[in-house]
Amino acid sequence: MPELKEARALYSTWREQLRSGPVILQEEDEEPWGVILPYRQFRQMQEAPTSHPYITRVPGRRGGRAVIRGTGITVALIARLYKAGDTIDEILESYPHLQPSWIYDAIGYYLDHRDEIEREIQENRLEALSERHHFTVDERGFVHFLASDELD
């Protein structure tokens, strides 16, 4: 299988080159036709920058909602905790991998974009989710999905 050996050799070459940055794909004396990027760089390119240094949005990730960069923790979650009266230290106890500056930035983002984040919070309340996804929750906390003949 010479093709497999060639592919492995090419992969090894690209992998080494990727350690120093993107690999540009082109034939001799022709325009480049492609680029191979390290995954981390590719992810950063997808991020939509915000005016808050620790907050980002990535289309297709977490529904495009504002998150603390690199964590997947939504600003709406931090806002709910903040509104419930949790202190920064209490939030850090629950999420020890976060930094205080990240939490302050998430709260700042919430305060700057209150309508948007409040809408997210409302959309993710149990009542809204159960209506949207057709389920009920009984008194013991068990979720029951409605059969198609029970839907309105």
Closest CA to 59 of 46, 78, 72, 42: 46
State whether 100 and 133 are in the same domain: yes
- d(CA 113, CA 152) in angstroms, rounded, equals 35
State whether 66 and 114 are in the same domain: yes
**pLDDT (0 to 100) of residue 90:** 97
Number of domains in the chain: 2
Average the pLDDT over each of 46-50, 76-80, 137-141 and give the range with the smallest value. 46-50
Using only the alpha carbons of the chain, give its radius of gyration. Answer: 23
In which band, very low, low, confident or very high, does the pLDDT at 9 lie, cut at 50, 70 and 90?
confident
pLDDT tens digit string along 33-61?
A: 777 767 666 666 656 667 889 998 877 77
- d(CA 26, CA 86) in angstroms, rounded, equals 55
State whether 53 and 84 are in the same domain: yes
**pLDDT (0 to 100) of residue 139:** 87
State whether 53 and 102 are in the same domain: yes
pLDDT tens digit string along 103-136?
A: 999 999 999 999 999 999 988 887 877 787 888 8
State whether 117 and 145 are in the same domain: yes
With 0-12 / 13-18 / 19 or more C-beta atoms within 10 angstroms meaning exposed / middle / buried, residue 105 is buried
- What percent of the chain stands above pLDDT 90? 36
State whether 92 and 120 are in the same domain: yes
- Give the chain's length: 152
Helix, strand and coil percent figures for the chain, each rounded to 5: 50, 15, 35
State whether 98 and 139 are in the same domain: yes
State whether 24 and 55 are in the same domain: no
State whether 67 and 8 are in the same domain: no
State whether 30 and 80 are in the same domain: no
Residue 52: which domain range?
48-150
* 67 three-class SS: strand
State whether 24 and 64 are in the same domain: no
